[in-house]
Structures are given as structure tokens and as C-alpha cells.
């Protein structure tokens, strides 16, 4: 009656890891994510999300965290379950049925940039994914981007992309990169300040070309749950 004898399936955990990097051409900040080139069948040589079979010793989120370590050598600033994908025919070329529990994560701008990528890992802008990806990973990436865009509008996760202290213009550029549209600086300022999600450090950024902006830090969260459960409309 156990899974070993009856289910014949693999439970895997994959993670969509987001980072902000400047576009190599325009220089504008955009969303990027790491993909791993598969070295085995099925989908050999295709790009895929980082991940692997669930180790029995780890929680689901731990597994996602470990995947991040192996792929990017950095800790996520935000980690959240996205969805469980398990249709019978989602990996027709695989020898066994694969059920994937997918997480998405944010890594900070500062940490991320000075890190050497692992073997077979390459970062790509989310708008230029070298598809088709392995399995149903194109679909998963789309879901993850949508979730991120939806969540940034009502949750202070954007802070996860920034260092400890930041200006409101920094924060606004993060929002603009995620949402892919310009935001009015003055209204953005008011919105953020009225939310109470940032605290004035009392200090200002030095060495700027013009008027030095105030520095803020993100305010401690008052989350209702230890876990986070999320959605896309």
C-alpha cells in the first residue's frame, strides 16, 4: 500500500529564482532568472528550472532552498510556494511520472551580482527565455512572473531585491523593473510611506550626482502566518 510499490512517481521540487539585472543593451533594470541545461534525457540539452527529486530528509521549502544554494550560491530573500504541477501527461518523455512542487524566490541585487554561476547554469531575462524549456517549465515561468507582478502591488516583497538601506528611488526602480512600466515618483513616494513598510534611517545617500536622497530600511513585518500561501488572479 505504500508509495514505493504503487505510485511509481517522482516527487521533485523546482524553484523559479528571480534577480534584477541591467539589460546589457539598454541598461535598464529587468527581471532575470537562472536556467540549467539538462545533461540527461528526457529533454537533454534543453533549458530547465533548477531543482531535483525531493530528498526524504528535508522539508519542501528546505529542498527549494538547497536548490538555490547549488544554483546560485546565495540565500533567497524571499521564498514562497508557487504551485504543484502533477498532470499525468506533463512529462511524456520521462520514464516515470513526475509531480513537481514549485517554489519561487527572490535574491538581492547586491549579493547576486558578484557570484559565479554553477556549471550549466545561465541567467536569462524573463522576456527572452530560450524556449521551449524542458517539461512544462515555460508555463511555470509564466505563472511565477504573474505571481510576482501581482504580489508586488500589495506586499512589500520588492524590498527583497535591495540592500539593507536604500532610497525610495531605488525602491521605485525595483517596482518599475518588475511591473515593466514607469511609476510617478511623487505618488509612489506617498504610497510607500503611507504603508509604513519602510523606516527612515535619518541618514542620506552620499556621492550622488544631485540632491542626496534619504535612506530607508524595510520595516519589520507583521505577517499573519509563518507560512505564506499565495495566488494569481
* Interface residue list for a second copy (CB under 8 A): 1-11, 53-54, 56-60, 81-84, 86-88, 96-97, 99, 101, 143, 147, 151, 154-155, 224-225, 227-233
210 binds, among DNA, a second copy, none (CB under 5 to 8 A by kind): DNA
Number of residues that bind DNA (CB under 7 A): 19
- For 24, counting Cβ atoms within 10 Å of its Cβ (0-12 exposed, 13-18 middle, 19+ buried), the class is exposed
Residue 209 found at the interface with DNA (CB under 7 A): yes
Q: Least Å distance between CB 89 and a second copy?
A: 8
Figure out which of the listed residues 21, 97, 124, 189 binds DNA, where binding follows CB under 7 A.
189
Q: Least Å distance between CB 192 and DNA?
A: 10
Residue 186 found at the interface with DNA (CB under 7 A): yes
Instruction: Using only the alpha carbons of the chain, give its radius of gyration.
Output: 19
Residue 187 found at the interface with DNA (CB under 7 A): yes
Figure out which of the listed residues 23, 94, 213, 217 binds DNA, where binding follows CB under 7 A.
213
CA distance to 30, 55, 167, 180, per residue, from 24 (Å)? 10, 38, 24, 16
Q: Least Å distance between CB 36 and a second copy?
A: 17
Evaluate whether 12 touches 102 at the Cβ level (below 8 Å): no
Residue 194 found at the interface with DNA (CB under 7 A): yes
Q: Give 210's Cβ-side CA count (13 Å radius).
A: 1
Evaluate whether 47 touches 133 at the Cβ level (below 8 Å): yes
Residue 214 found at the interface with DNA (CB under 7 A): yes
Evaluate whether 103 touches 17 at the Cβ level (below 8 Å): no
Q: Least Å distance between CB 224 and a second copy?
A: 8
Residue 181 found at the interface with DNA (CB under 7 A): no
Distance separating alpha carbons of residues 102 and 51, to the nearest angstrom: 9
Residue 203 found at the interface with DNA (CB under 7 A): no
Residue 233 found at the interface with DNA (CB under 7 A): no
Q: Least Å distance between CB 219 and DNA?
A: 17
Residue 142 found at the interface with DNA (CB under 7 A): no
Residue 5 found at the interface with DNA (CB under 7 A): no
Q: How far is CA 154 from the centre of its chain?
A: 17
Q: Give 199's Cβ-side CA count (13 Å radius).
A: 7
Residues 6+ apart with CB under 8 A from 38: 44, 45, 46, 47, 48, 134
Where does this chain touch DNA (CB under 7 A) — which range of 37-45, 50-58, 115-123, 207-215?
A: 207-215
The total of other beta-carbon atoms located within 10 Å of residue 17's CB is 28
Q: Least Å distance between CB 123 and DNA?
A: 26
Amino acid at each position: 500500500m505504500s508509495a514505493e510499490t504503487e505510485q511509481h512517481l517522482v516527487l521533485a521540487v523546482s524553484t523559479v529564482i528571480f534577480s534584477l539585472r541591467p539589460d546589457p543593451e539598454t541598461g535598464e533594470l529587468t527581471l532575470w532568472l537562472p536556467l540549467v541545461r539538462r545533461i540527461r534525457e528526457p529533454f537533454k540539452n534543453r533549458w530547465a528550472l533548477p531543482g531535483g527529486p525531493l530528498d526524504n530528509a528535508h522539508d519542501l521549502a528546505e529542498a527549494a532552498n538547497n536548490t538555490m544554494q547549488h544554483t546560485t550560491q546565495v540565500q533567497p530573500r524571499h521564498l514562497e510556494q508557487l504551485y504543484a504541477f502533477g498532470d499525468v501527461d506533463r512529462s511524456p518523455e520521462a520514464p516515470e511520472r513526475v509531480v513537481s512542487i514549485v517554489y519561487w524566490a527572490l535574491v538581492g541585487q547586491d549579493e547576486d551580482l558578484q557570484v559565479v554561476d554553477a556549471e550549466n547554469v545561465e541567467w536569462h531575462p524573463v522576456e527572452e527565455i530560450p524556449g521551449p524549456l524542458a517539461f512544462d517549465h515555460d508555463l511555470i515561468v509564466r505563472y511565477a512572473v504573474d505571481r510576482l507582478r501581482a504580489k508586488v502591488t500589495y506586499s512589500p516583497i520588492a524590498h527583497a531585491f535591495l540592500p539593507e538601506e536604500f532610497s525610495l528611488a531605488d525602491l521605485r526602480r525595483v517596482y518599475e523593473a518588475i511591473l515593466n512600466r514607469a511609476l510617478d515618483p511623487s505618488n509612489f513616494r506617498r504610497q510607500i510611506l503611507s504603508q509604513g513598510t519602510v523606516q527612515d534611517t535619518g541618514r542620506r545617500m552620499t556621492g550622488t550626482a544631485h540632491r542626496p536622497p534619504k535612506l530607508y530600511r524595510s520595516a519589520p513585518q507583521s505577517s499573519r502566518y509563518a507560512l505564506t500561501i499565495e495566488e494569481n488572479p
